[in-house]
Structure 1
Amino acid sequence: MKNILLLALTVIVSHSAGIIGSLFTVSAIPSWYAFLEKPFFAPPNWVFAPAWLLLYTLMGVALFLIIRATDSLVSKRKGIFFFAVQLVLNALWSIAFFGLQSPLYGLIVISVLLLLIGVTTYYFFRVSKVAGWLMVPYIAWVSFATLLNASIFLINS
């Protein structure tokens, strides 16, 4: 029972970044984002919500595995620290890009975010291979999102 509660908590914590981000995203999509020029590879808007739901869940499970691990305590602490920092940046990206309506600020935040996801994943792999692999789709998606953000910035500058 204790593990189920911890798992639920880590998934909720991960989803909190998306919940915070959505406060700035939902209203900006029809009023601002819809009018931006986008590159040919920009996915339709409906793709983002299910992708993020899956990613936040995978991140939460990865965090659960790290918290439960008993090996590599230094890497575990560093992994949890960097996970927390990147989760804050994840929420800040929505504030920068959608809230401030600034592809430039969004690009700055997402570039640092991508770096910190890489660092987090490195430490997660040192503690748990499964936790590390659970972070790989997140790296892939944020890499794509960084390219999309950069393209939107360049096209609309």
Structure 2
Amino acid sequence: MSFDSDYEPWFQPPGWVIGPIWLVLYTMIAISFMIVLSKKEEVSNSNIIITLFLIQLLVNIMWPSVFNSAEYLISLMMIVVMVVFTVIYAYLTYGSAKEASILVWPYILWVSFAGMINFAYYLNAR
């Protein structure tokens, strides 16, 4: 991922840290999603939960290209969508697939942190 170093906030982790963290987080959310799919009949609102997950994943996939094109406000709004949809996903899965819910908590924290970095880029670019 290429960031504009002129706008880089002091608290942004080095690039060599970001890749491994994403690898772990994507593995965790994939396992979470597989749990939901395997318990689809037991999980209430499973179609809503699956839809929320897939939308936030699609936004997550699109985010780097939007951010790297220096569209910091749009990419920040995308992070808000990711966090909100994943929090709802975690809330809805907690009762019937608790482990699926717990597996996305680190993702929520990391994406929220990414939102702070994104917001810093937005402010620094103004």
- Whether the 8 Å contact between 1:96 and 1:109 is mirrored in structure 2 is no
- The runs of at least 4 aligned residues of structure 1 exceeding 4 Å deviation read none
Any idea what the Cα deviations from partners look like across 1:8-35, whole Å, max 9, x if unmatched? Answer: xxxxxxxxxxxxxxxxx3xxx1xxx143
Q: 1:114 to 1:36 in 2, by over 3 A?
A: farther
Partner of 2:47: 77
Instruction: Pick one of 26, 43, 49 that aligns with 2:13.
Output: 43
1:116 aligns with 2:108: no
| 1:133 aligned residue | 102
Of residues 112, 122, 126 in structure 2, which corresponds to 1:143?
112
What amino acid is aligned across from residue 102 of structure 1 in structure 2? E
Q: CA deviation at 1:127?
A: 2.6
In the alignment of these two chains, the number of paired residues is 125
User: SS of the residue aligned with 2:10?
Assistant: coil
RCO higher in 1 or 2 (8 Å CA, sep ≥ 6)? 2
User: Shift of residue 87 of structure 1?
Assistant: 0.5
Q: Deviations over 1:14-69 (max 9, x none)?
A: xxxxxxxxxxx3xxx1xxx1433222211111111101100110011001110111
Identity of aligned residues (%): 30
**TM-score normalised to the size of structure 2?**
0.91
2:58 corresponds to:
88
Per-residue deviation at 1:150? 0.3
CA RMSD in angstroms, aligned pairs only: 1.4
Say if 1:37 and 1:152, in contact at 8 Å, map to a contact too.
yes
Question: Which stretches in structure 2 are left out of the alignment for 5+ residues?
Answer: none
8 Å Cα contact 1:114-1:143 kept in structure 2:
yes
